[in-house]
Amino acid sequence: MTETVAAHRQAGHRVRLEWGPTGAAAVAAGADIAVVVDVLSFTTTLTVAVERGITVYPFRWKDERAAAHAAERDAVLAVGRFEARQGQAGVSLSPSSLTTVEGVERLVLPSPNGSTIAFALADSGATVVGASLRNAGAVAAWLAPHVAAGATLAVVPAGERWPDGSLRPAVEDLWGAGAVLAAMQAVLATGRPVDLSPEARMAARAYADVAGTVTEALLACASGRELVDVGFADDVRTAAEHDASTVVPVLDGEAFVAGA
């Protein structure tokens, strides 16, 4: 491993942060816990589902094996927001729509960013947790004793994709990651200082900038504006419900369940 690659792993810090699937693989290497943050899609929908007692299986986006993967687990396969709007039956990636779904016990929930990252991290050796603004405080409280005991933490804002498939760092995921880190620092304030990498500290500071105006900030940011413009404002508002949930989705084997 070259010196540059080692530096990008942020291995000198116990709390690390990096973007997207490539960044996840880098900072989760050797980490005890990996926190995936995908505020306007996967992890908010995941939190809503787990709140409702649904077991959620992450999976890669647009993988032709998804239907078989769901069938083998006697699970419902979720579709994308736009597929649902075009008349495809079933559950979608829309978090607001999932608040009223009934009769679903197991759900395969593919997404291009958060779910794909979580699926890839399943075999990393790290405990994988799903975080969003809706459950940031609960995740922070769950993480704090682990970090206080010496656990290494990798936080992964998922980001979005440009049309050419390249990573688009998305400010809402930075805020979500920062909300978790800021709350965790507050819980641990009476103990030893938490060793955050500069990247992780930057996320906590970014969240502090919008902490009092989260809904307005989400509705105004590029990703939020995109959803509002195509009729999914309710999803943005659901994602902005800061600390509305006390559930902590933890990947147990191949499925997310509520963490103890």
Residues 181, 203: contact at Cβ < 8 Å? Answer: yes
Q: Is the pLDDT of residue 82 over 90?
A: no
Tokens 């993967």 belong to 69
Task: Spell out the domains of the chain, with CATH numbers in brackets.
Answer: 12-258 (3.90.1560.10)
Residue-level pLDDT at 4:
42
Single-letter residue type at 134: R
Q: Say if strands 106-110 and 76-77 run parallel, antiparallel, or are unpaired.
A: parallel
Average pLDDT over residues 150-179: 96
Give 86's pLDDT tier (boundaries 50, 70, 90): low
Residue-level pLDDT at 100:
83
Q: Which tokens hold the place of 255?
A: 């499925």
Distance CA 72, CA 55 (A): 14
Which stretch of 37-41, 85-89, 134-138, 217-221 has the lowest confidence by average pLDDT?
Answer: 85-89
Q: What burial class does residue 131 get, using C-beta atoms within 10 Å of its C-beta: 0-12 exposed, 13-18 middle, 19+ buried?
A: buried
**Cα dist from 202 to 5, 78, 143, 252, whole Å:** 21, 34, 19, 30
Residue-level pLDDT at 149:
93
- 3-class secondary structure, 145: helix
Residue-level pLDDT at 53:
94
The overall pTM is greater than 0.85:
yes
Q: Which tokens hold the place of 219?
A: 């509705």
Q: What burial class does residue 22 get, using C-beta atoms within 10 Å of its C-beta: 0-12 exposed, 13-18 middle, 19+ buried?
A: exposed
Query: In b/e form, how buried is each residue of 166-183, taking b as 16+ CB within 10 angstroms?
Result: ebeebbbbbbbbbbbbbb
Residue-level pLDDT at 83:
67
Which stretch of 12-16, 37-41, 132-136 has the lowest confidence by average pLDDT?
Answer: 12-16
Percent of the chain with pLDDT over 90: 76
Residue-level pLDDT at 158:
97
CB count in 10 Å sphere of residue 56: 27
pLDDT, tens only, 182-219 = 999 999 877 667 889 999 999 999 999 999 999 999 99
Q: Is the pLDDT of residue 31 over 60?
A: yes
